[in-house]
Amino acid sequence: MSQRVLTTESGAPVADNQNSATAGAGGPLLLQDQHLLEKLARFNRERIPERVVHARGSGAYGHFEVTDDVTEFTYADFLSTVGRRTEVFVRFSTVADSLGGADAVRDPRGFAVKFYTAEGNYDLVGNNTPVFFIKDPIKFPDFIHSQKRDPFTGRQEPDNVWDFWAHSPEATHQVTWLMGDRGIPASYRHMNGYGSHTYQWTNSAGEAFFVKYHFKTNQGIRCLSAEQAAETVGRDANSHQTDLLQAIERGVRPSWTLYVQLMPAAEADGYRFNPFDLTKVWPHQDYPLRRVGRLVLDRNPDNVFAEVEQAAFSPNNFVPGIGPSPDKMLQGRLFAYADAHRYRLGVNHTQLAVNAPRATTAQNYGRDGLMASNAQGRAAKNYEPNSYDGPAETGRPLAAPLAVAGHTGTHAAPPHTKDDDFFQAGELYRLMSAEEKSRLIANIAGGLSQVSRDDVIDKNLAHFHAADPEYGRRVEEAVRALRED
């Protein structure tokens, strides 16, 4: 078999890839050396803007198989038949650090699933926790700024982290999750995934249900202590990536069982918690888990940049039978995610192989823009409606309409009977074993004791006291002890 010929990007053969063209032996380089200039110019442009959040990630392909009948609740085609399989791509990530950050750190993990369905791609974009730090997207840029590197010191600052939390009592529930034993997963395979937000399912009769997604790991939950994590990072900063890659390469197929909680839409207004508040969970005794199917990963990407870095997930990629809810954070993400991808990857990012539909073909009137590859036939029209048999609307909404009422303006969410910022954080604390509580206290005190302002410490302590008196007392004592050392 003859060796393939190295070419330039225009396809011309390259004569010498070891030596640049010069003006005589040992002379200066020549501007006419097209191959040299092309290589250097392309090299300068190899990187694209990294994600502001979820920059450090890993991914894999696999499938989702329906194991239980849920057609009573949704007419989504990919969920319509027991045994039905749909190809998926899953991206895991840390949240706060940059692309070069370590994997084994105390941070929430992104858990994003792209279902390549026959009715278009459905993106379910969540985390490894069922709740989040804030409930309104207007606070999201401020929250992320407080968690990222300080513009002056260039490092994550406890003063910024805890000052934001001090002014955001709704964060107490997620802080308790983050500082507890599940704050540092041992690997991506050994953690759960959650849709976190509340979504809407609609059945064929037009009945609406609000839904929360739970992906339960079949490998079992495994987490690292702060000491184990520090050792892991020192040994392999890419520990989660290494684990996922090697597991799949040796034939291990990580899997998760998908469960959902379903709330008839009519019950939302009278529920004891605001069902659209991202800082709250629905207790399982109120809405039990119902099994849906099994998610399996069995193939690594061939190119991490092309298929993980360029993977674009957006929660506004719905399919018929699934839609949004009034969840404020979800509503903000419906815009922000797609906009981030248009900035990072360009307006035609949906034509990239990892993002393009696989079980169907995208047909619309979007044209042109940078890197457009969806060239149409010479007679194709770029407007709608038209008289030339172009793609046309179905007239069928993706999900059931939701009633709205009231005046426009900036409103706080209407209160429900159990709507405070501390009750569920206290419930989570009281569920923990004595050992888990001790580790939680130590993790919180280790960070909070580094804060320089007493008033910021006091505000945070008040949150823990409000969640549970014992919780607050133990954190306060541990912080005091560390600050007196």
Active site residues: 54, 127
Tokens of 125: 């974009």
Helix 454-467 and helix 423-431, axial crossing angle in degrees, nearest 10: 70
Q: Where are the beta strands (DSSP E) in 56-133?
A: 57-66, 85-94, 109-117, 120-127
Tokens of 420: 């405070």
**Angle ∠(25,29,35) on CA atoms, nearest 5:** 110
Residue 369, C-beta contacts closer than 8 angstroms, at least 6 positions apart: 346, 347, 348
Residue 471, C-beta contacts closer than 8 angstroms, at least 6 positions apart: 426, 429, 437, 464, 465
Please give the single-letter amino acid code of residue 12.
A
Residues 97 and 107 sit within 8 Å (Cβ to Cβ): yes
CA-nearest of 348, 299, 378 to 89 is 299
Q: Give me the long-range contacts of 455-458 (CB less than 8 A, separation at least 24).
A: 456/159, 456/162, 456/163, 456/166, 457/162
Residues 390 and 381 sit within 8 Å (Cβ to Cβ): yes
Q: How many CB atoms lie within 10 A of CB 457?
A: 22
Beta partners for 469? Answer: none
Q: Cα–Cα distances in Å, from 19 out to 14, 15, 30, 37, 315?
A: 11, 10, 12, 13, 49
H or E element at residue 413? none
Strands 109-117 and 322-323, by their bridges, are unpaired
Tokens of 249: 């390469």
- Taking the CA atoms of 421, 423, 427 and 429 in sequence, report the sign of the dihedral they define: positive
Q: 3-class SS at 103? A: coil
